[in-house]
Copies of this chain bind each other. A is one copy, B any other.
Amino acid sequence: MDMPLVIFTPSGKRGNFPVGTPILTAARQLGVDLDSVCGGRGICSKCQIAPAYGEFPKHGVTSSPEALSDWNAVEQRYKDKRGLIDGRRLGCQAQVQGDIVVDVPPESQVHKQVVRKAAAVRAITMDPATKLYYVEVQEPDMHEPSGDLERVATALSESFDLPRVSMDLSVLARLQTALRKGDWSLTLAVHQDGTDASAKVLDIWPGYYEGGIYGLAVDLGSTTIAAHLCDLKTGDVKASAGIMNPQIRFGEDLMSRVSYVMMNPGGDLEMTKAVRDAMNTLIEEVASEAEIEPSSIIESVFVCNPVMHHLLLGIDPVELGQAPFALATSDALNLTAQDLDLHAMNKAGQVYVLPCIAGHVGADAAAVALSEEPSKSEDLVLVVDVGTNAEILLGNKSKVLACSSPTGPAFEGAQISSGQRAAPGAIERIEIDPVTKEPRFRVIGSELWSDEDGFAQAVGDGGITGICGSGIIEAVAEMRMAGLLDPSGLIGSAVQTGTERCIPEGRTHAYVIHDAREKDGPLISVTQGDIRAIQLAKSALYAGARLLMDEMDVEKVDRVTLAGAFGAHISPKHAMVLGMIPDVPLDKVTSAGNAAGTGARIALCNVGSRRKIEQTVHNIHKIETAIEPKFQEHFVNANAVPHATDPFPELGKIVVLPDVSFNTGGGDQNGGRRRRRRA
C-alpha cells in the first residue's frame, strides 16, 4: 500500500498520504486543526495525537499500531522530561505506515474553545493576534551574508508560512544575544492584526520559551477602570483588577470633563496623562496579582465611551460636547503601547481600540454588541449597559439600533445622599414590609438579612456604611410598593404614610433605612433629592430605550439584557417597578455581567472578532438622543414611578401599586411642604 488513508477525528477530515508522512504534515495538508509551536521539531508537544486502533466500520478502515512508525527517541526524551499521557504520540514524529484513525485531543487544537466561567453562556474561540512560534535559525555565513533578522524571517516563513516579519528596534537590539544564547533557536511572539499581510515580532526568548504571554482587556469607564488579564495561549483569566478613574477629580461625568477642557486650555492633556498613569498602575497591579512580569503583557484591548476614548488617545474631546458631536476618528485603531505611554506593559506591546459607533455611542457599546450579539438574535432584544452613561442597543438579525443616554452617576451610588460605591458595608438588597413599612436589608460582605440571627454580630452597626447603586434601585421601588412614595415620586410624611421612618428633610421628607447616630454611626436614608436623582437617571434610560423602540416601530421587546458591572446586580423586578426598562416577562430579563469587558476579552482572544465587530458597527443604525425631540418627550413621560396607567401584567401577582398621592393639595413638592406645615 503506497498511499495509506489517514482519518482525523473529531473533524472527520481524511486523505491519502505517502508512507513516511508525519501525521502533523498530513493534518496541515488537510487543514486539520492540530497545534504546533516548534514547527515539527519534537520540542513543544503541542501536536500530541491519540491514535485509535481497531475496526472503524463508520470510516471503513481498520487501524493497527503498525499503521504508525515506531515510538522514537524524540518522543521518549519528551516523555522522560515532561511526561506524555499513555497512548499519545507526537504528531510531528509519528509517521504514516498504514491506514490510521487519529484523534486530535482538545488541548492539541489551536482553536480550542474557552468557556467563560462567569455568566457562562458563550465560548470564546482562541485565536489571538499574538502567538508564540519556535524556530531553529540558520547560522550566519560570511560567504552568503545576511542579517540575523532576515534568517529568522526565513525560518518563520518556511516553518509557519508567516509573511515577512518586522521587528521593533527594542527587540531587534536583543536578537543577536538571544540567538546565540539559544544556540540558534528562538521563540518569538508574533503579532498579526489581520488588517494586512504584515507580521510583527513583539518579543523573543532564547531557545524554547516555557512561559506565557498575556493580554489585558480594559473597560475604561468614566468612573472606574476594570481590567482582565488573560493568558493568550489558554484564554484563562489570570487576574482581574479595577481602579477608580483618576479623571473624576476633573469632573464626575463626561460633560463636566468636557467642560473642564473648555474652561482650562490644556486640561485634556492633564486628563490624558492621568488616565495613562492610572493604566500603568493598573497593569502593574494586575501583573503582581497574577505573579507575572508586566512585560509579558504583550497586547491590550480598550473599550470606552467616546469621551474616554478621545482622552485616552490624547485628543481634545470638546467636539463631543456640542452638536454635531463629531468624533476625531470612529474606526477601530491598531496602536502601540508606546503611542499611549503604556510603558508598564511590553515595550513593543500592541493596543487595539474597538470602533466607536457614534459621537455618543462609543467603543464600549461596540464591545457590548460584540459580546451580546443582538445582530444574531432571532427575537427582539434590548441590551442596556448601565453606567454613568447608558449604552442601549435594540435589534435582531435584521437590524440593530444604538444610542446612549446620559443617566448620570446616580446608578453608581454617586449623587445619592447615603450613596457609596459597591463595596463591603454597602446596602445592596432591601425589602420594605408594605404593612409595617419596616425595612430589612443585606450589605455587601454578608449573606444575612438585617433581621436574621447573627446579623448584628456579623456586620454590626459600624459595618453598614451606605447604599450602593443596586440598593438604591431596590429602595426606591420598595418605597413605591410600600406606599411610601406616590407615582410622581414624592415621599409622604410620617402622618401620610403612617411610619415614623418618614422624617422631615428640609422642605421635603426622607425615609430612614438605618439610623446608627446614637452610636456615632451614619443615618442611612433615602431623601427626596435621592428620589429625584434616580428618577432622572431612570427616565433617561427608559427614554433611550423607547426612542429605539419608536425607531424600530415596536411597542414591546421580546427580552432585555442588563449589562454593566452594576447591571449585573440590579433586580429585574425592581427595575421594572421603577420603570427603568420596558416591561417584559421577568424570565426574559437576563444579566450579562460586564458585557463591555467581555467584548474586550473576546477581541483580545480572537482577532477575527475584531473584523467582525468593525463590520457590525458599520451596519448599526445610530440614534442621537441629544437632538431627537421625542427623547425629551419620553424623558418627561418616564418621570413617574411608574405611570399609573402602566400595566404590570407579569408582575401582577407581586405588585399591587398603592394608589397613594402626597400632592393632592397643590401639585408638587410645595404641596407636600404646605401640608406638612399645616400638620
Contacts and interface: CB of A to CB of B under 8 A. Distances in A.
Interface of A: 139-143, 145-150, 167, 169-170, 172-173, 175-177, 196-198, 313-316, 319, 323-331, 335, 338-339, 356-359, 622, 624, 627
B358 A313 contact: no
Given A147-B330, A196-B197, A198-B196, A142 B173 contact: no
B314 A150 contact: no
8 A-B pairs with least C-beta separation: A147-B330, A145-B358, A140-B326, A149-B329, A147-B329, A147-B327, A142-B324, A140-B324
Given A169-B335, A313-B172, A326-B140, A145 B359 contact: yes
B149 A331 contact: yes
A150 B331 CA distance: 7
Contacts of A173: 313-316, 328
10 contacts: A140-B324, A141-B324, A142-B359, A145-B327, A146-B327, A147-B329, A147-B330, A147-B331, A176-B326, A196-B198
A146 B325 CA distance: 10
A177 B139 CA distance: 53
Nearest to A355: B147
A328 B624 contact: no
A176 B325 contact: no
Most buried by B among A196, A313, A330, A335: A330
Contacts of A172: 313, 315, 328-329
Contact of A328 (B143, B147, B196, B335): B147
Contacts of A326: 140, 145, 147-148, 176
A149 B328 contact: yes
Given A169-B339, A198-B196, A324-B141, A330 B146 contact: yes
Q: Please state the number of chain copies in the assembly.
A: 2
A323 B147 contact: no
Nearest to A326: B140
Contact of A330 (B139, B145, B314, B331): B145
Contacts of A147: 326-331, 356
Contacts of A141: 324
Nearest to A360: B145
Contacts of A148: 326-329
Contact of A316 (B169, B176, B316): B176
A324 to B, nearest CB: 4
Contacts of A327: 145-148
Given A142-B627, A145-B324, A145-B624, 19 more contacts: A140-B324, A140-B326, A142-B359, A142-B624, A145-B325, A145-B327, A145-B330, A145-B358, A147-B356, A148-B327, A150-B330, A169-B314, A169-B339, A172-B313, A173-B316, A176-B315, A176-B316, A177-B316, A196-B196
A140 B325 CA distance: 8
A335 B627 CA distance: 45
Contacts of A329: 147-150, 167, 172, 175
A121 to B, nearest CB: 31
A323 B196 contact: no
Most buried by B among A149, A177, A329, A330: A329
A455 B537 CA distance: 93
B176 A328 contact: yes
A439 to B, nearest CB: 45
A327 B148 CA distance: 6
A329 B171 CA distance: 12
